[in-house]
Every structure is written in C-alpha cells, then in structure tokens.
Amino acid sequence: MDDVKPTPIVSTALRGRGLLADPGLNKGTAFTDEERTSLGLVGLLPDSVESIDEQLARTRNEFDRMHDDLERHIYLRALQDHNETLFYAFLRANLRDTMPIVYTPTVGMATQQFSRIYRRSQGLFLSYRNRDSMAEQLANVDHPVDVVVVTDGERILGLGDQGVGGIGIPNGKLALYSAFGGIDPTRTLPIVLDVGTNNEERLADPEYLGWRNERISGDEYDSFIDQFVTELGNRFPSVLLQWEDFASHNAARLVDAYRDRILSFNDDIEGTAAVALAAIWSAISGTDRQLADQQFCIVGAGSAGTGIADMLVEALRAEGVEEPLERLWLLDRHGLLHDGRDDLEPYQAPLAHPRSHIGDWPDGQLAIDEVIRRSGATVLIGVSGQPGLFPEPVITALLDNTDRPVVMPLSNPTSRIEATPADIIRWTDGGALVATGSPFEPVEHDGVVHHISQANNVYVFPGLGLGAVAVGATTVTPRMLMTAAKAVYAVEDGGVADGVLPPLESVPEVSIRIAQAVARQARDDGLTEPMTDGEIDAAIDERMWRPIYPTVTPG
C-alpha cells in the first residue's frame, strides 16, 4: 500500500541543527539539495544525497557489526532518537532480526539494565512522589496521542519487579504498534507509573533512576491509578490505553474496573489470549478435530493463563459447547484449580472446577502428566514462567490422547520457557504442533524441518489498536478480540502452510486485516458511529502511518 499514497508534505519552522535534532522530521543524508538550501542544512550534512534504501544498507551493516543483542538494542534506540522514519523502515525491512532486539527477549535484559544504559527520555515517568502535579505532567506532552502503553513495572515478562526500568516494555510495544500497525509514532506515548519497587537489588543500586521507595499498595495504589486514568482521559479523551506487565493481583481487576471509563485492554491477558486462540485454531485446522473436540491443559493461572482460559470459554460457547469448563484444566503451583481450594484469587475462582467435575480424582497436588492423562488433554499451554516445567513425561503423556498434540510453551524471555521446541519435537517423534512465546530457529527431525511459530502478541495488538482508534470505538470487547484472533490465522483455507501461525513477515498485512475486522465488529456492536465497510476501510487507510520520508518545506 505504500506506493499508492502520495509522498506527504510537511511544513516546519525548524531550521538547521534544530531540524536535524527532531527525530520525527530528520531525514539525515536523505534531505534533497532543495530541502538543504531552503531549510538551512547546507554544510551541516555530508555532500552526498542518499535514498532511504542506501541508508538502510548502511544501517544494516552497522547493526551487524554490534557485538551482542543488548548493544544492538541500544543502537536501535539511538537510531529511533535520531531518525524515526529510518528506524521504523529498518524494523519493517528486517522484521525477523529486529523484533527480538526491540522486544522479547532482549527487551527483558534492557529493562534490567535500564539505569545503566539510559541515554535519553523516551516516554513519561509518572512518579507517586509527584502525584499532585500529574495533570501538569500530562500537559507537558505537546502532541496529540492516539495510543498509550502503560506499566507499573511490577511483573516484567518473567523477570519480576523492575521498577522504573519497566518503561522499556511500553517503548518496545509502541515501536511495534508503529512499525507493523501503522500508528503514527508521533501520536504514541509510553508511560511508566513509578510507584516504587520491592526489588532490593534496584533499591540498593546507586545508579537506579526510579523513586527509591518500597512499592505502594492498597488504597494508595488504587487512588494513584484512578488519578492516572482520570487525568489521562481528561488530557486525551479518545486515547486507547493498553495495560502492560501489571502483576496478576492487579492486572485483571484494573482492566475490568476501567474498561468502560476509557478505551482500554490488557495485552498480557487479552492480547495473549487472542494470539493463543489464533494459534490453536490454526494448529487444529490441519487435523481432523475441531476446537470443540479438544481438551485444554493450561499451566500457569496468573493473568495470562486465566485470560487464555476465558477466551477459550467464549470460543467454545460460540461453537456450541454448553459446559466449556469441562474442557479446561487450569493449574497453578498448588495444582488444579477447583472450588474445594481456599487459596484461589478472585480472578481464578470462575475458572475453578466443581468437585463434581473431577469425580474420584485424589485430593492434593497432581503432577502435570497425571492431569494430562486424567483429563485427556490434547492441547498443553505453558504460561508459568518456570523453565523446564515440561519434561519428557509431561509431553509424552499427551500422546496417550492424540498423535498430533498442540504444545505452546509461551513463557518468555527464552530463559523461562517450559520446554524447548527441539525437545518437544523429538519427544513426540515430530508429531507435535508447536508455538512458543520467544523466537526459536527451525527444528530438523528425521529429515523434516519444523518451523516454530512465535505466538507473539504482535500478531494482534497493533491491528486491534489501529482498528479501534480509526473508527473511534468506545470499548474493546471479547467479541472484538475473538474477531482479531480469527483474522490472524485466516490466511488461507485450512490454516497456514508452514508452522502454526503466518510468518512474522506477514504481520503488517495481518494487522490491516485485523483492523478492518475489529472495526466492523465494533460497528456491529454499536460501539462506533454508523459506518459502511467502505468508510471503515477508508478511515483505516487514512490513519495508516508508513515509514516513508516526507517532503519537508519551510513554514
């Protein structure tokens, strides 16, 4: 679609070094001779005028010369600070190599090292200490905002409490929103709610840049969150708010509390659930069984696990299953969730089995492989954050129930995965259909190459956000999320040809398809102004930002 839209024209009052310092307008050596003359750039740049393709080639050479992934992460962040268009064009041109750098798994390392590698502010740091001036802090944002990603840094990936370093997660997510979802990067805002940290290593670190205080909780925390949502809505009434990496005890209740007050969703709960459902649908499309024929064992009953379970309940009901909970077996570190336990969290209780469902199952904690055998599980999902939790007996137990098990160890970063794809493929003699949370190389087994799909939320959230924002939706609903999941895997009849999900390189196209489907669903549910399909597609296309250089003129 890039070649059907005219080159944008932008007027600016900036001149010379001031223009070169603006990452949204800077083109570096791609400024034309005419632009250099009219904008006071002659002599401030080398003589050669380059195309963006020539700049991309040099950027690739520099990227390849970096010594490790953290160094590449720092390099790309510096490029983003210097030239946003080139940064996003580079991400799109090198998607498979750059996504693990700007997001998982390298972003986990970057959050841990945030205070040491800090160079320039990217985003808004709302500290509890400065809560009385929150409205003024939001007023300091001098540009319109369509999408905010916010975290409080308490549960970063599988790494726990990283305090203010958690800002790396919103930065990474918004980079993907712009690169693959067409959200204008000048209309995004990463935010960290700096409410302290209980990470003793961070508090003792003399370089730590956050508020040096134990993490607030209870009424203080809830009041601060309420203040944030109120002030954000006042400043940007039409914004989409994505909650990110909040601890399980806060994640579900916050998105439920504010869903109807501000357009919002929780990507760890709902985005993960949508991409997991898409992967399951796609995987089983290559078998002779339907979703309603499966039994699901989900290990990890935090926000991600319960979100996946809730989404599966909705999907099973849509396929006519009257008692979907009888097909879902959710485990936490204390074993199977059932209503005889007195330690369940409020968000877990609706997914707990009645004792009548589990009949003569013995009391006490059962091993995962025993739960698989007793339940007849055909799909195994790991969101536990516990590395190596799925050893060979767990995986081979699935083969008692099906010769084509779906195995999805989704914990990330890579160091937290429940089982590696190579082991899963070997233990099932090539029979398993595998999707992971972090990227893995293809696995060769018995002369067959198995491509491992990464069930990354990037398949869902950029398109979901684009569609919701483009049509001014008022709420993100479960039906919109299920529609997004269907749009992910519906690449061709019978699913995808290689792997479980479409190749990552197709994410930009998938995002447009998701945006269109989600926007139509929102319209059908009465969450937008009345619009025709043509008007929806035009609104999305008009909103789509592409990483191409504008013609810059004096203004």
pLDDT in tens, 287-325: 788 999 999 999 999 999 999 999 999 999 999 999 999
pLDDT digits (tens, 9 = 90+) for 135-174: 999 999 999 999 999 999 999 987 899 999 999 999 999 9
Residue 101 phi, psi dihedral angles, 5° rounding: -90, -45
CA 402 remoteness from chain centre: 31
Please name the amino acid found at residue 226. D
Residue 318's Cβ-side half-sphere holds a number of Cα atoms within 13 Å equal to: 13
Separation CA 276–CA 290 (nearest Å): 16
Catalytic residue among 173, 221, 459, 489: 173
| Residue that has been written with the tokens 């089995």 in this structure | 353
User: Cis peptide before 346, with omega less than 30 degrees from 0?
Assistant: no
Q: Span 29-48, mean pLDDT?
A: 97
For the cut 50, the answer to whether the pLDDT of residue 492 exceeds it is: no
Q: Domains (ranges, CATH) in the chain?
A: 8-50 (1.20.1370.30), 95-246 (3.40.50.10380), 270-458 (3.40.50.720), 460-543 (no CATH)
Q: Look up 177 and say whether it is catalytic.
A: no
- The identity of residue 99, as a single letter, is M
pLDDT of residue 495: 52
Distance CA 457, CA 107 (A): 15
Q: Please give the Cα distance from 480 to 318 (Å, whole number).
A: 14
484 and 518 Cβ atoms separated by less than 8 Å: yes
Choosing from 88, 103, 258, 459, the catalytic residue is 103
Predicted local confidence at residue 508, as pLDDT: 92
Q: Are 390 and 418 in contact (CB under 8 A)?
A: yes
CA separation for the pair 154, 163 (Å, rounded): 6
How far apart are the C-alpha atoms of 20 and 59, rounded to whole Å?
18
Q: Which residue blocks in 339-457 are alpha helix, DSSP H?
A: 368-375, 392-398, 421-427
Instruction: Please state, in angstroms and rounded to a whole number, the distance separating the CA atoms of residues 306 and 506.
Output: 28
How many Å from the N-terminal Cα to the C-terminal Cα in the chain?
A: 29
Q: Which tokens sit at 359?
A: 């009949």
Q: Considering the chain, what is the average pLDDT of its residues?
A: 93
Residues linked to residue 16 through DSSP beta bridges, in sequence order: none
Higher pLDDT, 391 or 118: 391
Active site residue 208: no
The tokens 């949502």 sit on which residue?
229
Q: How far apart are CA 484 and CA 420, in angstroms?
A: 28
Per-residue pLDDT tens digits for 354-408: 877 787 787 667 889 999 999 999 999 999 999 999 999 999 999 999 999 999 9
Rg (CA), the chain: 24
Beta bridge pairs of residue 23: none
Q: What is the pLDDT of residues 241-253, one digit of tens each?
A: 999 999 989 999 9
Report pTM.
0.91
Percent helix, strand and coil across the chain, each to the nearest 5? 50, 10, 40
The DSSP bridge partners found for residue 409 are 382
Separation between Cα atoms, residue 111 and residue 384, nearest integer Å? 20
Q: Is 303 helix (H, G, I), strand (E, B) or coil?
A: helix
Mean of the pLDDT values across residues 514-540?
Answer: 97
Can you state the angle between helices 168-181 and 507-524, rounded to 10 degrees? 90
**CA 235 to CA 206: how far, in whole Å?**
35
